[in-house]
Amino acid sequence: MTKFAVFTDLDGTLLNHHDYSYQDALPAIANLRARHIPLILVSSKTRAEMAHLCQELDIQDPYVCENGSVIVLPKPWVQQFNVDTSTLTDAGEYWLAFRGAARDEILTIVKANKGDCPFVGFADMTVEDVIACTGLSHEAATKAMQRDATEPLLWPQDGAGSEEFARKLGVHNLQLLKGGRFYHVMANCDKGDSVRYLLSLYQSYYGASVHSIALGDSQNDLKMLKAVDTAVVMPHPDGSYMSDKGLIGELHAPYPGAKGWRYAVEQALQQ
């Protein structure tokens, strides 16, 4: 019997753009659970932000936070899959697999190399500061600040000094990624690295290859989509799709968000 594993982005993929709802995806999630197919959430969100969603959806599988910088492995799962914990970090009910530097290491390097750069990091902000520049609720802002392996930087619009700062970070095997609102300091890792790491654990346990499926909608998801057997590209709210020459034979979901996610997962499993 073919073994499957499904990896998915959240915002604009499993979750709707406009209301962040996953309701339309629930039948497909229930089908995965009934067939014992793991559903691994892969997002730029923090562990604190994602833990609540996993609890709501009753997901007992690992999940990937902060763009692949840290993987959360539930302890019962680690025990079942006979995962070596010698390189993992104990976090109570979970083991954490860091794919690069922990946040404390990152903050030390950022502080030592800041010089005259005009950025302000999350570590220097209050919850009220984060609310003011993001529009998040107090609860959401608090969870967004609980980071394990990345540091967002608020930089003046012209990005002055960012290229030189990125060069300094590179010496320490860190990278500076420009997002929509923030620059992000993180290790040289990505969503694709985390997908390959987890697939290796599944394949080792089952003693056979696992057919992998991934769903995403943005450039940030490309390396994840290229790391699997079946890539599903989700449409943007305007109906357009991300395109990349490196994606071959990918599926296109018919609708954006949770509704399209449901149809795409069912189609990918049928294929």
* 226-256 per-position pLDDT tens digit: 999 999 999 999 999 998 888 888 999 999 9
The model's pLDDT over 89-144, given as tens digits with 9 standing for 90+, comes to 999 999 999 987 889 999 999 999 999 899 999 999 999 999 998 888 899 899 99
- Please give the Cα distance from 258 to 260 (Å, whole number): 6
Taking every pair of Cα atoms in the chain, the longest distance, rounded to a whole number of angstroms, is 59
For residue 153, with 0-12 CB atoms within 10 Å meaning exposed, 13-18 middle and 19 or more buried, which class applies?
Answer: buried
Sheet arrangement for strand 150-154:
120-121, 150-154, 183-187, 174-178
Unique residue bearing structure tokens 């149809």: 263
Per the CB < 8 A criterion, the answer to whether 76 and 85 are in contact is no
Considering the chain, what is the average pLDDT of its residues?
Answer: 93
Q: Which two tokens stand for residue 114?
A: 């800041």
Catalytic residue, candidates 9, 148, 190, 221: 9
Secondary structure class of 186 (helix, strand, coil): strand
For residue 215, name the pLDDT band (cuts at 50, 70, 90): very high
Mark whether 9 is an active-site residue: yes
Give the integer Cα–Cα distance in Å for 26 and 87: 35
Between these two residues, 108 and 208, which has the higher pLDDT value?
A: 108
